[in-house]
Amino acid sequence: MIVGLVNEAVAAGARRERACLQLGLSDRTVQRWMRGDIGDDGRAGPRTVPANAFTPAERTCVLEVVNSPEYRDLPPKQVVPRLADQGRYIGSESTIYRILRAEGQNAHRGRAKVRTVRKVDEHVATAANQVWSWDITYLLSAVRGRFFYLYLVEDVWSRRIVGFQVHAEECMVASSALVRATCVAENVDPNGLVLHSDNGGPMKGSTMLATLKHLGIVASFSRPSVSDDNPFIESLFRTLKYRPEYPHKPFETLEAARVWVSAFVEWYNSEHRHSGIRYVTPDERHYGRESAVLANRISVYETARRQNPLRWTGPLRNWTPAPAVFLNPKRDQETIASALASATAA
């Protein structure tokens, strides 16, 4: 994967040495990987025991202490300061953890439930109607404590709002109806389509899940209480509520809320230049018109540079179509790609 990304950076104009430096690697190392025949790891490893290593007797003492009735339910971070209060030191927390791990005893201690590590789903969209993201947001009503609910579906690749409804209540039946209506409106085969959301009741209700299974839609969910697992829809809601046209007072009626949201969706899809897709409109990207729009911008910039070449000290602005969109990319790939992008820019 690293070799492929380095080659991509070089093809984009970066020096290979600088790209490797951004990754903390030697250029020679990457060259050896490119040859393919790198053989087995020939390093012999340490040949001597460290002088400060614990003796077998000291390791036994550590195990006896942490497994004693007084400390067996406590983690090393609790054991070490308690021993220090008694004027005793048997090792640092990290050393005790290392010994427990080597003995197969680094297990959860205590009655609390073991923390569950949840993996977030990663999806890649290379065209429209492959990955959708949806959520529900509150709209204030004239009655204190009562809200209207905006159900909204966004295409991750084009950022286009492909479906929306405003209801007086939040329920899974309305969610199910929205998904069905959006598939019909977009005239797409829902089989294999990814629909990403958070863990709210309307998203994981039985009626909603049954609808997704019947249509063949792949359900994808964020980790609980992690808002940036669903970033595209959250960003859209911020744009919606910070528009200058957003009412300063609550909506008087449900119909008034629906009228305003309909006008916003029309503006967002057809007029709003989205920063994440080279400042084309979601409609232009969704319906395949972005290439012509961006090609025209390149022509404008080339003409401007020919007219005033001294004002252009670097390359033209990148007006090529935005690449594939990753929803919750893996962190290691994200870090490597960011580093290589920095190398290319340098």
Residue 319 located in a structural domain = no
Residue 113 located in a structural domain = no
From the list 333, 327, 126, the residue with the least C-alpha distance to 222 is 327
232 and 132 together in one domain: yes
139 and 198 together in one domain: yes
Give the mean pLDDT of 250-259.
Answer: 96
Query: Which residues sit opposite 339 in a β-bridge?
Result: none
Residue 72 lies in domain? 56-102
269 and 134 together in one domain: yes
Residue 304 located in a structural domain = no
The pLDDT > 90 percentage for the chain reads 63
Dist CA 270 CA 264 (whole Å):
10
Contact 224, 199 (CB under 8 A): yes
> Sorting pLDDT into bands at 50, 70 and 90, what band is 285?
very high
254 and 140 together in one domain: yes
- Mean pLDDT lowest among 149-163, 261-275, 326-340: 326-340
251 and 133 together in one domain: yes
Contact 203, 221 (CB under 8 A): yes
What is the structure's pLDDT at 110?
66
143 and 240 together in one domain: yes
Tell me whether residue 95 is exposed, middle or buried, using C-beta atoms within 10 angstroms of its C-beta: 0 to 12, 13 to 18, 19 or more. middle
134 and 163 together in one domain: yes
From the list 328, 130, 337, 140, the residue with the least C-alpha distance to 234 is 328
Choose the final residue of a domain: 45, 70, 102: 102
Residue 284 located in a structural domain = no
Dist CA 192 CA 125 (whole Å):
12
> Residue 140 is part of a domain; what is its CATH number?
3.30.420.10
What pTM does this model have? 0.68
How many domains would you assign to the chain?
A: 3
Residue 298 located in a structural domain = no
Tens-place pLDDT, residues 120-161: 778 999 999 999 999 999 999 999 999 999 999 999 999 999
Residue 299 located in a structural domain = no
The helix (run of H) or strand (run of E) holding residue 85 is: helix 76-85
Residue 225 located in a structural domain = yes
Tens-place pLDDT, residues 11-66: 888 888 888 888 888 888 888 888 766 666 666 777 788 888 899 999 999 999 99
**Measured between alpha carbons, how far apart are the two ends of the chain, in Å?**
22
Give the mean pLDDT of 259-280.
Answer: 96
What is the structure's pLDDT at 341?
59
156 and 246 together in one domain: yes
198 and 262 together in one domain: yes
Residue 107 located in a structural domain = no
Residue 88 CA, chain-centre distance (Å), reads 47
What is the structure's pLDDT at 345?
54
270 and 137 together in one domain: yes
> Sorting pLDDT into bands at 50, 70 and 90, what band is 166?
very high
What is the structure's pLDDT at 137?
95
> Sorting pLDDT into bands at 50, 70 and 90, what band is 199?
confident
142 and 213 together in one domain: yes
